[in-house]
Amino acid sequence: MTVKPTSWIGASVERLEDKPLVTGRGRFAGDVSFPHQLHMRMVRSSYAHGRLKAIDVTEARAVPGVVAVWTADDIADLPPIDFREGPNEKLAPFRQSVLAKDVVRYAGEPVAAVFATDPYVAEDAAELVTMDVDELDAVIDASLPASEFAAGLTTEPTICRQGYGDIAAAFKGAAAIVEMDLSVGRHSGVPLETRGAIGRYDAARDVLELHGAAKVPHKNRESLARMFGRSTAGVHLYEGHVGGGFGVRGEIYPEDVLVLVAAMRLGRPVKWLEDRREHMIAANHSRQQRHCIRAAVDAEGRLIGIDDDFFHDQGAYIRTHGTRVADTACGILPGPYRLPHYRVNAHFRLTNKTPAATYRSPGRYETNFVRERLMDAIARKLGLSRIEVRRRNLISPDEMPYERPLVALGDEVVLDSGDYEGLLNKALERCQWDRLEREVAERRKAGEYVGLGLAMYVEKSGLGPTDGARVNVHTNGEVEVITGGASVGQGFETVIAQVCAETLGVDYKRVRVIHGRTDRIEYGIGAHATRATVMTANATAVAAGKVRVKALDMAAQLLQTDAGQLTIVNGSVMRTDGAGASIDLGDLAHHLRPVSPTRGERDPGLAAEGWFTTAHMTYPYGVQIALVRIDPSTGGVDIEKMLIAFDVGRSINPMLVRGQLVGGFVQGLGGALFEEFQYDERGQPLSVTFADYLMPTAHEVPEVDILVTEDAPSSCNPLGIKGAGEGGVAAVGAVIASAVDDALGGKGLITQIPITPQAVKAMIDGQRK
């Protein structure tokens, strides 16, 4: 009989992290408190743009319980918040100062900070701070000609350019040219848990601590240490539970800096919790772009070239991400199609709105919408079906890996593997596209406004370069994985435990995953850009593999067997044929203690560190299909069917992959039909509550059919993994737009998202006239 270890990779096991969460014993930023802490309240500009002539804090300071009120003058020694990837001279003048000085540039910009013994007192006092502001004209539309940001600087800090080939020749030789003006609305991650930060200075150890950190604790530690002139050894970040990350949480914002500086200067821990209204005007916005795009195609509908000028509405300042979203948009726009010539100019524009940065699937949600609208338009222009025009342009599996002379997230674009047409076929079959098309045609004849939409896309994941993990087996057999990854609630601990369990041969429930503590591991990439599973899991597999070798070696000595005949099953080392004695990993750890005489020449500890380095990102891909019905009298859109087909290379936990895809879909639906940060012409934010900023609820979300395939494992990493975190959201704007457009007769009327009932109704009325 040969013994067979349990297979953990690919199993839909339940999440390790759920117990404290579902029993209300999690530890979110709001749950973190320290004795004698102060509470911070921000005073924010109510003007979108103006000269800040004076701030009066005397009344606020006099309120009993108020310990300090700071304005820019009180922290004049602090530099503006820098870019995560390091200094950038060209963009530096556009960074946000911790507190506004001389000029305010968006409604919501921090102008002063109140520190008090009680959060109510802090809020009462904050109301008493007054400011004298000369209002200036607000820039609301990023596509108008650039104006002045400050003396000698315009509101266009840079133009991100990418491209290759000869775009002029491409258009000269075209059989047809399709031109569109397409806009994506301003929306962003609006997690259930708003942001929070608790700063504490531990004088005994001379360590500055930030609690409530998320996403990229190690990178942020470096930035903060630089900002304060401290060594990284004197700054530590602690990640707790996270009620949704989505890109907005875990960046360094003015509030994070303030709680730390105040903790040092006021000598007491300082706690700040963002309220919902603040979140809507203070946390990063995202997505808003307007693309003026043209495609040159040959007579068969094959792309010859794409020429795109787009306006990226960055908001008032350039925050930690620099120009990353616009850059990514440029690099990823061509998607799954062959594109011989390409030119894109991203006009990176500042406006008087909340600064923007990444939101789940940044640069892709926008460009998938733009490119897929364009593909539908090409089909229409040439009288081809929307499927056929895509088939003719898809990159085929034998062209993989497919190099593109483009850059996304600072990484050369090399599509590592994929069978795009294969997935298209599977998706069409799964939803019975042909039958749906017939049904739609019949229902239309009967007067209904129904439509089918389709979108294809390439996602990116696993941004490198490197991540590490340490696996340590305790003498009781429990396994600890200490990683530089981070959890934003996505099931990180579970998948890392699964990979460790599979490699090592233990039950995944015996694995404890430690993350988000800069004091336990020196280096880490955190959780962003759908990289945690790809990078950290592979590093974990390397570390666990080393531990396995060491365990077998030690066991071979103790069991007097050749290591090659041994395996590990459920935490016990035994012979592969099941014969003879076995020994538990815990016992082996005991034999490997520093003082153990049996250890021999081996290094102490049943532990090892593993590193994984990748040359490139890995590219999962998907197909989304939607069937919608419009109520022509109200303009309301009802989604009758929704399919997401997605290839993840290799799925470690299919249940979690589905969860990621469905959750992402809901956020994508928000951007397609509901969510938008609106402003009036003076730059006043109009979407500051959940009554004005409409998130989809369970009522608005249709049943989503999910097809996860593993046809194209990544060639970039030994486990073959691609990320799933952003695949659900990436093409929802594209597919819903395609379906609504089809329901309106397939004329290319839908050129912007979100699609509101008011707009749809106006289009229907316009057609009737």
Partner 1 sequence: MKPASFSYHVPTSVDEAVALLAELGPQDGRILAGGQSLVPTMAFRMARPTHLIDINGIAELARLTAGGGIVTVGACVRHAAFDSGTLPGATGALLRKVVQNIAHYPIRTRGTFCGSVANADPASEWCCVMAALDGVAVLRSQRGTRRVPAAEFYQGVMATALDEDELLVAAELPMLADDTRTGFVEFSRRKGDFAIAMALVAYRLEGGVIVEPRVAIGGAEPHARRIAEAEDVLSGQAPGAAAFVAAAEAASAAVDPMEDINNTAAYRRGLVRTLTQRALESAE
757 binds partner 1, rule: CB under 8 A: yes
Which residues, other chains included, contact 734 with Cβ-Cβ below 8 Å and sequence gap of 6+? Answer: 368, 369, 371, 372, 373, 453, 455, 457, 624
| Nearer CB in complex with partner 1: 353/364 | 353
Stretch that binds partner 1, among 142-150, 157-165, 458-466, 627-635 (CB under 8 A): 627-635
If one asks whether residue 153 binds partner 1 (CB under 8 A), the answer comes out as no
DSSP string of 529-594? TT-IIIIIHHHHHHHHHHHHHHHHHHHHHHHTS-GGGEEEETTEEEETT--S--EEHHHHHHHTST
Q: For residue 360, give the DSSP letter.
A: S
For partner 1, the closer CB: 99 or 688? 688
Kindly report the number of other CB atoms within 10 A of residue 447's CB atom. 7
Residues with Cβ within 8 Å of residue 660, at least 6 apart in sequence:
490, 724, 725, 727, 728
Piece of 387-395, 593-601, 628-636, 647-655 that binds partner 1 (CB under 8 A) = 628-636
CA torsion sign for 504, 506, 509, 514 is negative
Distance CA 61, CA 761 (A): 54
β-partners of residue 349 are: 313
Residue 513 and residue 483 in contact, taking contact as beta carbons nearer than 8 Å: yes
Spatial distance between the Cα atoms of 271 and 262, rounded to a whole number of angstroms: 10
**What span, in angstroms and rounded, lies between the C-alpha atoms of 154 and 152?**
7
In angstroms, the CA 752 to CA 754 distance is 6
Please say which residue, 75 or 669, places its beta carbon nearer to partner 1: 669
Crossing angle for the helix pair 537-559 and 492-504, to the nearest 10 degrees: 30
> DSSP class of residue 439?
H
Name which of 636 and 748 has its Cβ closer to partner 1. 636
Nearer to partner 1, 122 or 585 (CB): 122
Q: Which of 244, 696, 723, 725 binds partner 1 (CB under 8 A)?
A: 696
Residue span binding partner 1 (CB under 8 A) among the ranges 208-216, 284-292, 561-569, 684-692: 684-692
Q: Which of 216, 177, 62, 127 is nearest to 532 (CA)?
A: 216
**By CB under 8 A, is residue 765 in contact with partner 1?**
yes
CB-count burial class (<10 Å; 0-12, 13-18, 19+) for 760? buried
Number of Cβ within 10 Å of residue 179's Cβ equals 11
Please give the full DSSP string across 66-132, using - where no structure is assigned.
EEEEEEGGGGTTSPPP--TT---TTTGGGBPPSS--SEE-STT-EEEEEEESSHHHHHHHHHT-EEE
Of 118 and 562, the one with the shorter C-beta distance to partner 1 is 118
Q: Minimum distance between the CB of residue 673 and partner 1, rounded to whole angstroms? A: 8
Judged by CB under 8 A, does residue 62 bind partner 1?
Answer: no
Task: Tell me whether residue 82 or residue 676 sits nearer to partner 1 (CB atom).
Answer: 676
In the chain, the N- to C-terminal Cα span, in Å, equals: 79
* Residue nearer to partner 1 on the CB measure, 387 or 701: 701
Give the interface segment with partner 1, choosing from 137-145, 229-237, 405-413, 758-766 (CB under 8 A): 758-766
Residue span binding partner 1 (CB under 8 A) among the ranges 9-17, 526-534, 587-595, 697-705: 697-705
Stretch that binds partner 1, among 372-380, 466-474, 492-500, 759-767 (CB under 8 A): 759-767
Q: What's the min distance (Å) between Cβ of 686 and partner 1? A: 6
Could you give the C-alpha distances from 260 to 69, 218, 220, 256, 701, in angstroms and in order?
A: 15, 16, 13, 7, 41
Closer to partner 1 by Cβ: residue 94 or 679: 679
**Candidate residues 102, 127, 148, 206; the one interacting with partner 1 per rule CB under 8 A:** 127
C-alpha dist (Å) from residue 522 to 299, 470, 613: 57, 11, 16
Q: Tell me, what amino acid is at 183? A: S
The single residue among 31, 59, 124, 480 that binds partner 1, judged by CB under 8 A, is 124
Nearer to partner 1 by Cβ, of 91 and 694: the residue is 694
Q: Residue 431 CB, nearest distance to partner 1 (Å)?
A: 26
One of 5, 65, 119, 605 touching partner 1 (CB under 8 A): 119
Q: Segment near partner 1 (CB under 8 A), from 231-239, 357-365, 539-547, 755-763?
A: 755-763
- Judged by CB under 8 A, the residue of 150, 233, 549, 762 near partner 1 is 762
Residues 236 to 275 in contact with partner 1, rule: CB under 8 A: 275
Contacts 24+ apart (CB under 8 A), 594-599: 598/554, 598/557, 598/558, 599/554
**Residue 680 interacts with partner 1 (CB under 8 A): yes or no:** yes
The only residue of 30, 234, 340, 636 in contact with partner 1, by rule CB under 8 A? 636
Nearer to partner 1 (CB atom), residue 340 or residue 757: 757
Q: Is the dihedral of CA 409, 415, 420, 423 positive or negative?
A: negative
Query: Does 23 help bind partner 1 (rule: CB under 8 A)?
Result: no
123 binds partner 1 (CB under 8 A): yes
- Determine, following the binding rule CB under 8 A, whether residue 141 of this chain makes contact with partner 1: no
Near partner 1 in 499-518, by CB under 8 A: none
Residue 758 binds to partner 1 (criterion: CB under 8 A) = yes
We find the least distance from the C-beta atom of residue 699 to partner 1, in angstroms, to be 4
674 binds partner 1 (CB under 8 A): yes
Binding site for partner 1 (CB under 8 A): 119-120, 123-124, 127, 275-277, 633-636, 674, 678, 680, 686, 689, 691, 694, 696-697, 699-700, 756-758, 761-762, 765
